[in-house]
Structure 1
């Protein structure tokens, strides 16, 4: 039983540490990063995402800092009604994730 308690505690701490490594950035902070040239313009990032799914519409966007890297997350809906989740490196515009939402 003691080993199970230790294992559960370690797993909980590891999960908490991973959650603490990502943080959502508010609009003011995001605009400051864009204006400073730290990240690309949102228009440019949106264009890169939409190029992967022509005709899609952007339903939601979010900027996060994960492990010192700025990640721009988007939810798109294509013209067939399929929802897509994309993640881009906000500094380079590189698409890091592009998968159909379940």
Structure 2
């Protein structure tokens, strides 16, 4: 029983630490990063995401700092009504994740 409690505690701490690693950035901070050239323009990032799903529309976007990098997250809806979650490295435009939303 003691081992199970220890494992549960360790898992909780790791999960909590992972949540603390990501920080949502507000519009003002995002614009400052863009203007400083730290991240790509939102137009370029949007184009990169839409290139993965031609004909899709952007429903929501968010910029966060996670694990020392800026991640631009988009929710897209394609022309068949399927919703996609796309994550890009905001500095390079590299697609980090592209998966269908449940």
Give the distance between the partners of 1:98 and 1:17, measured in 2 at CA. 24
Residue matched to 1:17: 17
When normalised by structure 1's length, the TM-score is 0.96
1:71-86 to structure 2, matched below 5 A, reads 71-86=71-86
Count of residues in Structure 1 that have an aligned counterpart in Structure 2: 102
Give the distance between the partners of 2:6 and 2:95, measured in 1 at CA. 39
Residue matched to 1:60: 60
Moved over 2 A (4+): none
Partner of 2:96, secondary structure, is: strand
The answer for unaligned runs of 5 or more in structure 2 is none
The answer for unaligned runs of 5 or more in structure 1 is none
